[in-house]
Amino acid sequence: MSFQGPAIQTRPAGSAVRARQHLFNDRTLASYRDSLAAGVERVSDRMARTDRPFSGITPQQLAPEIVDIDLDRPLEDPAAALDELEDVYLRDAVYFHHPRYLAHLNCPVVIPALLGEAVLTAVNSSLDTWDQSAGGTLIERRLIDWTAGRIGFGVDADGVFTSGGSQSNLQALLLAREEALTAARTVEERTALLPRLRVLASEAGHFSVQKSAKLLGLSPDAVITVPTGADRRMDTAVLARELERCRAEGLPVLAVVATAGTTDFGTIDPLPAIADLCEQAGVWLHVDAAYGCGLLVSPTRRHLLDGIERADSVTVDYHKSFFQPVSSSALVVSDSAVLRHATYHADYLNPARMVEQRIPNQVDKSIQTTRRFDALKLWLTLRIMGADAVGSLFDEVVDRAAAAFDLLSTDPRFEVVTRSQLSTVVFRYRPAGEPDGEHLDRANLHAREALAASGEAVVAGTKVDGRHYLKFTLLNPETTLDDIAHVLELLAGHAAGLLAEPAAA
């Protein structure tokens, strides 16, 4: 009997040779440079020719072009692939750099961060363990320490980069849940306690709080929404009553979630008062500053975050108000010990003995394993621009939103909800004497949709007290008051056109 296997090939077959030419290594550097230069040139050319934030294309128009592409038949030529990409992506992409993109919390990005993106994708470090990232681990840790210092946390603070605010909020509530369950000594006690846990959050807070509660196995009624006042900030008198009610009914509150920058209104909950209540009740305070974190580097408005230093955990989204590319977020905690709740040791990856050897493995803090070196983008931004420069850009958009609010407040065709502490403006078309009702709702919905279809501008929409409103989210310092006035004229024209039609139309 022979155990001799097939002859071992010492040279790769022809198809493998062709495949290897696409690997990034020391033998393909010329191809790497040429391909990236071609891609940069293509994007630059498209940006130079973009005169509106969106083409107005519909899913029904674009989908057939993409569906018809045979992914099993490669083009092989990078130039041909970029030509195709022009038709299926670049031509119809939504361009956040355009000054008349005024919709969601998407920011134009700074060039130092794009440099970081190019570097991190080429080296492709994974930030889960030291032996996959080395310096990347220390850079991320240094940025967490820097952010914690800006928040006002002490030397015991720590944290980790995440994919975004929703993940940061999820992990914060996971840590808070586990802290709340520490009193349960047995599985049975834990099982009995879990459905009674409650989370208190503003009615203007982010939906990821409710989503996180579901993912964490809490009861369907676990999240108690606290109403806001006319200023759209959490009503602390109601919060105090809800904390007392939960105590009286034997419903442990695992966390209060305060918001520093609501998505719709850009409002900041009264953090000092909320911190007082949480301290008195012995309740975890999480501050969702995904939007408002730009104030951490503001040269003029840092005081708006006073009280955030008393939180147990804070969400920051650098890809909102630090002008970073997606994704770039972090969860920062005041006490590093709570991160143990996210720690699991795997023999192949981060065995427990590494803790004794003081080997820094970021996977010990993260709910992700493989993770991009997104911190590099912020690192290069701070090293090239500096924090004050980033903060001054954020100050500009906050100033612009204040000017937009003033403009709308004096225009009889519109009504505006409340002055934002950040850079949103919620308003609707309602000319003097126009009765409220569904017809007015349809006019505002139509105005937004018609504007997007034209591609001339993009604005957001939301509901306030059951009625449809329009929303500007200003994150581009290049947006001028003239841009805003022009968009208002377009919206007014579309809305007035629909209101002129019979109500049954």
pLDDT digits (tens, 9 = 90+) for 144-176: 999 999 999 999 999 999 999 999 999 999 999
> So what's the pLDDT on residue 436?
87
pTM for this entry: 0.94
Tell which residue, 338, 345, 311, 344, has the closest CA to residue 180: 338
Residue 415 · residue 427 · CB < 8 Å = yes
On the question of a cis peptide bond just before residue 327, with omega within 30 degrees of 0, the verdict is yes
Instruction: Please name which of 19, 41, 42, 21 lies closest in space to residue 32, comparing C-alpha atoms.
Output: 21
Query: E strands of 219-307, at which residues?
Result: 223-226, 253-259, 285-289
What are residue 369's DSSP bridge partners? none
DSSP 87-131: IIIITT---TTSTTEESSS-----HHHHHHHHHHHHH---TTSHH
Token digits of residue 269: 């909950």
Instruction: Give 3-state DSSP helix, strand, coil % of the chain, rounded to 5.
Output: 50, 15, 40
| pLDDT band, residue 185 (cuts 50/70/90) | confident
CA dist 426 → 467, 473, 483 (Å): 12, 9, 17
- Per residue in 277-311, pLDDT (tens digit) is 999 999 999 999 999 999 999 999 999 999 999 99
Q: Are 239 and 227 in contact (CB under 8 A)?
A: no
Question: Shortest CA distance to 454 belongs to which of 66, 90, 58?
Answer: 58
Residue 240: the pLDDT is 98
Closest CA to 426 of 408, 441, 438: 408
pLDDT grade, residue 505 (50/70/90)?
very low
β-strand pairing of 313-317 with 329-333: antiparallel
Is pLDDT of 6 > 70?
A: no
End-to-end CA distance of the chain: 86
More confident: 16 or 298: 298
pLDDT tens track for 75-86: 999 999 999 999
Mean pLDDT of 50-71: 96
Mean pLDDT, the chain, whole residue set: 94
Bridge partner residues of 467 (DSSP): 464
Single out the residue of 165, 474, 138 nearest to residue 315, CA to CA.
Answer: 165
- Which of 178, 187, 252, 244 has the alpha carbon at shortest distance from 222? 252
